[in-house]
């Protein structure tokens, strides 16, 4: 399967199955708010006036963005309305305004400098909205709707990265909420940082198992979204264990998911025996390295180690924002993050791990870590562009590979 198909499968096919259209609209605002407040690094007290102006501009843009999204929401949730020829002009104008606002939003350079992947997430958010607009103008209205849905991956990834930031209770009309399936509601709660409610709903969904409203893809996504909340955000092994036990209590559990759940349960118990996350580790990088070594030394499925990989992400996402890291520390941290996101990629943006590898190469060039990151990056690229007809790498991607490879060569 070619890379674009892999991207679709990894990024939104499961979500499409459960029709999470809502997140592609409402949570777009959440992503912007995240950059404004949830990931703000510590700065000197003499915060510049330009930075304050950037914040003000961002908030104004958010207000206008929410207004456009609120008006688009009923159409996104109702495919028949979205495809009506009588709505073409109105929707075209709304999508044009949405694209314009998203392109005007600017974030503090300091935020993007601290965590290099935020730039990718921000750009990805804008690109998806732009794709939606262009597809609609060309008459591909369903693709436009799917592109809006794609935005949810960026929002969920952002909002579970760290424990910073408030919940975003935007509210949904009762009739809209009632029309959503349970997995739709869960996606919405996670994307808008309503984590207590999300955790409870995830437990409810997995305990009920397969129903008329929840298929096997929904069930798989529900438990893993629940793990993102309990492991990566809450960093609470008791909450994670309650979720997995709820899944195991289901009477309609597919065999492969039961096997995963039993493995997750063992890994969570080990986490509890190690003290959980009650006390912050003195050396997050050393602990992350130890967790990564567990998977590399085991001959088993990657997804069985998703608990460790999410723990690595919880440890290192804030760690890489430290300004006093050595080149070696930064390189290893970015490499480990890339490796961890490669395991959990089905829950986030499909190529996020590649962005960590690329950030590693560019930030610590001509180093041992740059070489390791390039090897992992190249392997991922070739796997993504290889299918039944062989391997085809687009010229621009091939050019980028050559550029990055040069950065790994010692001078």
Q: Is residue 66 part of a domain?
A: yes
Q: Do 157 and 235 lie in a common domain?
A: no
72, 162: one domain: yes
What pLDDT score does 7 carry?
Answer: 36
pLDDT by 10-residue block (mean), the chain, 411 residues: 38 35 36 39 46 52 61 68 83 85 60 60 72 86 73 55 50 69 82 85 95 92 93 93 96 90 95 82 93 84 87 92 90 95 76 88 95 95 84 88 89 54
7 contacts 287 by C-beta, under 8 angstroms: no
Q: Domain span at residue 12?
A: 1-40+52-167
CA angle 344, 345, 348 (to 5 degrees): 105
pLDDT at 33: 39
Pick from 22, 21, 101: which is nearest to 62 by CA? 101
Q: State which of 263, 279, 295 marks the end of a domain.
A: 279
- Interhelix angle for 255-273 vs 306-319, to 10°? 50
List Cβ neighbours of 390 (8 Å cut-off, separation of 6 or more).
Answer: none
pLDDT of residue 10: 37
- Write down the pLDDT at residue 83: 82
Residue 219 and residue 148 in one domain? no
- Phi, psi angle pair for 386, to nearest 5°: -110, 135
This prediction has a pTM of: 0.73
Report how far residue 14's alpha carbon sits from residue 188's, in angstroms, rounded to the nearest whole number: 15
**Domain-terminating residue out of 132, 167, 202:** 167
Asked whether residue 128 falls in the same domain as residue 256, the answer is no
Sequence-distant (≥ 6) Cβ neighbours of residue 296 within 8 angstroms? none
**What span, in angstroms and rounded, lies between the C-alpha atoms of 390 and 29?**
40
* pLDDT at 363 (0 to 100): 92
């Amino acid at each position: 399967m070619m890379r674009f198909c892999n991207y679709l499968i990894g990024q939104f096919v499961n979500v499409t199955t459960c029709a999470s259209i809502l997140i592609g609209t409402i949570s777009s605002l959440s992503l912007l708010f995240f950059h404004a407040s949830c990931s703000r690094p510590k700065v000197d007290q003499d915060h510049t006036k330009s930075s304050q102006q950037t914040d003000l501009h961002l908030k104004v843009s958010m207000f206008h963005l929410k207004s456009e999204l609120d008006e688009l929401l009923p159409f996104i949730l109702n495919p028949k309305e979205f495809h009506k020829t009588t709505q073409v002009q109105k929707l075209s104008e709304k999508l044009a305004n949405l694209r314009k606002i998203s392109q005007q939003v600017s974030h503090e350079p300091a935020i993007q400098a601290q965590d290099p992947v935020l730039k990718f997430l921000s750009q990805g958010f804008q690109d998806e909205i732009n794709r939606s607009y262009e597809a609609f103008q060309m008459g591909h209205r369903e693709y436009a709707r799917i592109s809006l849905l794609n935005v949810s991956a960026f929002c969920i990834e952002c909002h579970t990265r760290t424990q910073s930031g408030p919940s975003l209770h935007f509210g949904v009309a009762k009739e809209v909420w009632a029309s959503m399936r349970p997995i739709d509601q869960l996606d919405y709660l996670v994307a808008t940082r309503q984590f207590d409610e999300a955790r409870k709903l995830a437990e409810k969904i997995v305990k009920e198992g397969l129903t008329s409203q929840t298929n096997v893809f929904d069930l798989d996504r529900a438990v893993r979204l629940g793990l993102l909340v309990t492991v990566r955000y809450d960093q609470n092994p008791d909450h994670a264990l309650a979720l997995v036990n709820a899944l195991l209590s289901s009477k309609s559990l597919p065999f492969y998911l039961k096997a995963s759940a039993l493995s997750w349960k063992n890994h969570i118990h080990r986490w509890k025996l190690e003290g959980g996350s009650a006390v912050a580790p003195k050396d997050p990088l050393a602990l992350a390295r130890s967790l990564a070594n567990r998977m590399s030394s085991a001959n088993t499925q990657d997804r069985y180690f998703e608990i460790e990989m999410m723990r690595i992400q919880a440890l290192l996402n804030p760690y890489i924002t430290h300004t006093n890291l050595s080149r070696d520390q930064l390189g290893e941290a970015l490499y480990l993050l890339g490796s961890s996101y490669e395991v959990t990629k089905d829950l986030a943006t499909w190529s996020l791990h590649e962005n960590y590898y690329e950030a590693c190469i560019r930030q610590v060039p001509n180093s041992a870590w740059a070489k390791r990151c390039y090897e992992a990056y190249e392997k991922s690229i070739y796997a993504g562009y290889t299918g039944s007809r062989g391997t085809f790498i687009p010229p621009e991607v091939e050019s980028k590979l050559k550029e990055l490879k040069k950065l790994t060569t010692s001078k």
